[in-house]
Amino acid sequence: MRKKLTSLLVVLGFALQGISFFFLAAPLGLSTSEADSNPVMPFAPVVFIVGVGMVFVAAVVYELLPENSDE
């Protein structure tokens, strides 16, 4: 459970970073229109930061979360 949650956070964190970076934030590459200057989703950078955060929060979760009863 603890390890799963940790793994989940790490995976999710990286996923959020990736999704936000490549799909939600303003598009990469040559700008040719007004739309290129806007994030696809407002506050997409926050998602990215949350993603970064989650990866490291995973460590906290891993350390702090009590083990399952089977331990």
70 near another protein (CB under 8 A): no
- The count of other CB atoms within 10 Å of the CB of residue 24 is 19
Of 42, 68, 69, 70, which one interacts with another protein (CB under 8 A)? 42
> Which residue type, as a one-letter code, is found at position 29?
G
Instruction: Report how far residue 31's alpha carbon sits from residue 4's, in angstroms, rounded to the nearest whole number.
Output: 41
Size of interface with another protein, in residues (CB under 8 A): 35
φ/ψ of residue 48, rounded to 5: -60, -45
Residues that bind another protein (CB under 8 A): 21-22, 25-34, 36-39, 42-46, 48-49, 52-53, 55-57, 59-60, 62-64, 67, 71
